[in-house]
Amino acid sequence: MKRKAVLLVAATAMTMAACDARSEARLSMPEALVARLDPALDVLLAGFDGEAAQSTVEFASRHWRLAGNAGYDAVLDHVRGGLEQAGFVGSIRFDEYPIDTPSWSYTTGTLSLVADGGDDVVVLSRDQHHVALCINSFSTGLGGVVAPLVDVGRGDRDEDYDERWWLPVVGGVWA
């Protein structure tokens, strides 16, 4: 129970440090709580390793993470390894639940403007932008999909969606 309290305090301390709100948060806490938390927060912040935290974020950002896929599992393993290295051996638990549908990993994704007789212009691709598609996007058939690109203006006004646009928009890509 004590370890859970320490982890809760650690999470609170990191959040407060990241937001630089420690002194502001003190204003809304009872003085007795501040007196008990401050020494613990000072110890936790003194042991905080910003480079290790950045390294974890960089590791996670290299992986496409959806529950149950290889990238998600790799990040969990990385976090578990870091916690064990910090001395939390035997106290780490990840709950696992069955997944009704198979998870998938993002391997290829490209959005290009196809020019008749010219070179295609790549707008988004996994190779260039890493995250170039929305979560829960679906694969296309072999060869992808070619559809007209329809300019609907800024898309924040009713006239951007005037009836004249509906014919080319059906089956098209809105931009």
Please give the structure tokens belonging to residue 101: 């549908």
Q: Would you state the pLDDT for residue 105?
A: 77
pTM of the model: 0.54
The answer to whether position 98 is within a domain reads: no
Residue 171 clears pLDDT 90, i.e. is over it: no
Query: Rounded distance, CA 90 to CA 53, Å?
Result: 22
What is the span of the domain harbouring residue 112? 106-142
The answer to whether position 94 is within a domain reads: no
| Strands annotated E in the chain | 110-113, 121-125, 149-150, 173-174
The answer to whether position 161 is within a domain reads: yes
Would you tell me how many other CB atoms lie within 10 Å of the CB of residue 114?
13
The answer to whether position 126 is within a domain reads: yes
Give the mean pLDDT of 5-21: 49
Please give the structure tokens belonging to residue 31: 């003085």
Give yes or no: residues 6 and 70 share one domain. Answer: yes
Give yes or no: residues 132 and 161 share one domain. Answer: no
Task: Specify whether the CB–CB gap between 111 and 132 falls below 8 A.
Answer: yes
Q: Strands 121-125, 149-150: parallel, antiparallel or unpaired by DSSP?
A: unpaired
* Distance between first and last Cα of the chain: 53
Which tens digits make up the pLDDT trace of 89-103? 888 888 888 888 777
Please give the structure tokens belonging to residue 123: 């707008």
Query: Rounded distance, CA 123 to CA 173, Å?
Result: 13
Give yes or no: residues 18 and 43 share one domain. Answer: yes
pLDDT band per the 50, 70, 90 thresholds, residue 51: very high
Residue 132 clears pLDDT 90, i.e. is over it: no
Give yes or no: residues 25 and 12 share one domain. Answer: yes
How many domains, in total, are found in the chain? 3
Q: Would you state the pLDDT for residue 164?
A: 57
Dihedral sign (CA 54, 56, 57, 59): positive
Between 20 and 141, whose confidence is greater? 141
The answer to whether position 158 is within a domain reads: yes
Task: Specify whether the CB–CB gap between 106 and 64 falls below 8 A.
Answer: yes
Give yes or no: residues 135 and 152 share one domain. Answer: no
Give yes or no: residues 170 and 135 share one domain. Answer: no
The answer to whether position 93 is within a domain reads: no
